[in-house]
Structure 1
């Protein structure tokens, strides 16, 4: 928490605010130093030590410390209030639509200023108020839905045990492949990274190294762990070392012929037990494995290039596992276990179709935003309205992160699979012709500096006008009168409609899986309960796992 350098006596309060407002865990040594626990003992000595402490306190050999009456960690109420006010500002920035972080701060302040019992009374009243709120209901729903993703009817109820996967090969050392490799080696998997030539291989290994160094700079892993992880990856140019691997993940460009050739080669070189996975997000797996005789081993392991959280993939919390009708239940169980072991990855099992679940919903979100722009809306207003609603990012900022070339490639797949449900905007094609490819080229819907900081680009207006002229569309003055909540509905409701289709067609295993997918993949705010939220009209939309109309 910022401010502790200016307020060195309030380190304990600062840590408490971090733990309460951000659910930050601390280690036992730090908790002992802060006075949150009295002693650290081995687990096998815990009961005996606790009994001895209790007897020592009862017989006055140790002082009895009444926790509620402790004031030694706070020497100045004014300094404490200054830190609490700073925390309020930060809480509003992080989640402007959430009430409970501010209530937590108010409760802490009440206890500091008026004494511990006053603080407890305020806490009790605040708890009663919050527990019946729509936010609380939504977050409880998300809590249980996230834990339910690992329960797949017809798979996890077969009493299958996951096999021991220790060695993984990755084909393709680009941005996605190198970051999947980083995710795995940090969790102690041995990784073989294959590329087509020496230059591409060197670039892929360098990306992995840079990812690890970024982890280290941010305090995620130690220097020793960084070196150990890097020692677990090996670069190769052929399939000779694939003879003893447990799983391979293909992460090359979305080209059907290329993928079919790769999987035919994998069948020759990989052992019979090896899982053959692809990171594709659009192509049918039965087509990928068409030239093989091992369809039961083929599965999707989509680690996602949709960097919703403005961070590398190894921070992304979602792993989409896509199976075909031929995929073995054992392979699905193995992938679920890997998702659990690499942590920070919630695995969701889905069916085999174009875009699976997340990209299917995501594409309709982008499409509806493009339709609004063609009809007169400002790109940056749409993004601002979405982030004000508490989406992690707006559709156009996200399109820049994904890359506009990738957006066009995905678009082609969707227009082929769902022509009657696709809107054909010309804007992205015009932008690509103008060499605007997104954040990587520092020019897309936004302009970017060398630190990837985005700003509205005034030159974009000319391209939007060109798109409208080619489509023969003139902006309507009436449409510009729509309120923010109308824009939110117009952008997000198509995604809700597609989610209902996904569910009705059996692509999703459970409706609650789609909620988790939209939260962890699209950045939908987890505390929003659409049918009760004042931001959207009641009865216009329901939570996907509720009653669908």
Structure 2
């Protein structure tokens, strides 16, 4: 994700310092930025001269020594609360007082991330969507302490890097991911109740989504987002055993070449007949009644609508139209629906 964000910034002529924990990861990150730009050259969207000039805006470092004059830092590490807390405590000591400290977290409450910071007014969420150099949306998350000037400045940057910024309030999952937390849970409930997993994906694609929920889960990985919802909203959570059973056998999606689907070297997906063994075991553990005739689209999307209403009622989203825009631009919800 960090390389995609760096790509988006240097494409808009912002100089970027990319830092990593070791030389290997740093070289890999710079390599991904290079590949992103080379792809534009191959497609005729960028000249070789422009490529070289743009790459010159990127500097790689292994410590915070170069951060003494920066205006904005965007943290984009794995979703680990204690590590993020330590990073922001360190950044506060190495960055100038005016520097905006932003996190690209997709689910973690910013109040948790900033717990060890002295100056709460300059932390903000800058949630990009993968791939960050392509996806048009930027979710800006502010806490009750975030300075209005910090919000205005990040809005300006978002527009300059050609993103559509949407400002939301702070909570677990924020506006976009929180309203779609029930999406995967509902699909897992359907499968536990007897619906064919691949039929669910086909039905959702027929409805107008760019890909089905299980194919999407394979793409983005079985990360901590679902667990965050279960932990913070247990009263309306459904915990299927299907994903935990798959993870026991290292079926974690595209990253392992096997998830709900199997993948070849080019990440082309194919169905996996043996998945039925995991499904049958999950059904036996869940103990839910079998009812494969439920309307698939309603079963999956009505909980999303309900969660969106909660997000709006709690003031996380200022306008209902903002929730509509994010659903279309980030999740691929069909405009004509």
Instruction: Give the deviation of 1:231 after TM superposition.
Output: 1.1
* Distance in 1 (alpha carbons) for counterparts of 2:310 and 2:180: 14
* Distance in 2 (alpha carbons) for counterparts of 1:301 and 1:235: 21
SS of equivalent residue, structure 1 residue 349:
strand
The structure that has the greater radius of gyration is: 1
Structure 1 position 505 matched with structure 2 position 321:
no
* Distance in 1 (alpha carbons) for counterparts of 2:41 and 2:302: 41
* Distance in 2 (alpha carbons) for counterparts of 1:497 and 1:373: 21
Structure 1 position 317 matched with structure 2 position 136:
yes
**Match of residue 251 from structure 1:** 76
**Match of residue 213 from structure 1:** 38
2:293 to 458, 467, 481: 481
Q: Which has the higher contact order (CA 8 A, sep 6+)?
A: 2
**Match of residue 213 from structure 2:** 395
Counterpart contact for 2:190–2:292, Cα < 8 Å: no
Structure 1 position 295 matched with structure 2 position 114:
no
Name the TM-score, length of structure 2 as normaliser: 0.97
* Distance in 2 (alpha carbons) for counterparts of 1:443 and 1:490: 26
**Match of residue 354 from structure 1:** 172
Deviations 1:49-108 (A, max 9, x none): xxxxxxxxxxxxxxxxxxxxxxxxxxxxxxxxxxxxxxxxxxxxxxxxxxxxxxxxxxxx
Deviations 1:93-126 (A, max 9, x none): xxxxxxxxxxxxxxxxxxxxxxxxxxxxxxxxxx
1:463 to 267, 274, 278: 278
Structure 1 position 451 matched with structure 2 position 266:
yes
Instruction: Give the deviation of 1:184 after TM superposition.
Output: 0.9
Instruction: Give the deviation of 1:274 after TM superposition.
Output: 0.5
2:194 to 368, 376, 397: 376
Instruction: Give the deviation of 1:456 after TM superposition.
Output: 1.2
* Distance in 2 (alpha carbons) for counterparts of 1:264 and 1:481: 52
Name the TM-score, length of structure 1 as normaliser: 0.60
2:256 to 441, 446, 449: 441
SS of equivalent residue, structure 1 residue 313:
coil
* Distance in 1 (alpha carbons) for counterparts of 2:55 and 2:7: 9
* Distance in 2 (alpha carbons) for counterparts of 1:502 and 1:204: 35
SS of equivalent residue, structure 2 residue 177:
helix
SS of equivalent residue, structure 2 residue 292:
helix
**Match of residue 527 from structure 1:** 336
* Distance in 2 (alpha carbons) for counterparts of 1:253 and 1:196: 12
Structure 1 position 326 matched with structure 2 position 145:
yes
1:255-270 matches, within 5 Å, as 255-270=80-95
Instruction: Give the deviation of 1:416 after TM superposition.
Output: 1.7
**Match of residue 229 from structure 2:** 414
Structure 1: where are the runs of 5+ without partners?
A: 1-175, 306-311, 529-549
* Distance in 1 (alpha carbons) for counterparts of 2:242 and 2:76: 28
* Distance in 2 (alpha carbons) for counterparts of 1:501 and 1:220: 42
Structure 1 position 340 matched with structure 2 position 159:
yes
**Match of residue 26 from structure 1:** none
1:151-300 matches, within 5 Å, as 176-300=1-125
Deviations 1:4-43 (A, max 9, x none): xxxxxxxxxxxxxxxxxxxxxxxxxxxxxxxxxxxxxxxx
**Match of residue 125 from structure 1:** none
**Match of residue 45 from structure 1:** none
SS of equivalent residue, structure 1 residue 458:
coil
* Distance in 2 (alpha carbons) for counterparts of 1:220 and 1:348: 28
* Distance in 2 (alpha carbons) for counterparts of 1:416 and 1:302: 21
Instruction: Give the deviation of 1:270 after TM superposition.
Output: 0.5
* Distance in 1 (alpha carbons) for counterparts of 2:334 and 2:46: 29
* Distance in 1 (alpha carbons) for counterparts of 2:309 and 2:259: 32
Structure 1 position 494 matched with structure 2 position 303:
yes
SS of equivalent residue, structure 1 residue 316:
coil
SS of equivalent residue, structure 2 residue 133:
helix
Bigger fraction of residues in strand: 2
SS of equivalent residue, structure 1 residue 519:
helix
Structure 2: where are the runs of 5+ without partners?
A: none
SS of equivalent residue, structure 1 residue 248:
strand
SS of equivalent residue, structure 2 residue 208:
coil
The CA RMSD over aligned residues, in Å, is 1.2
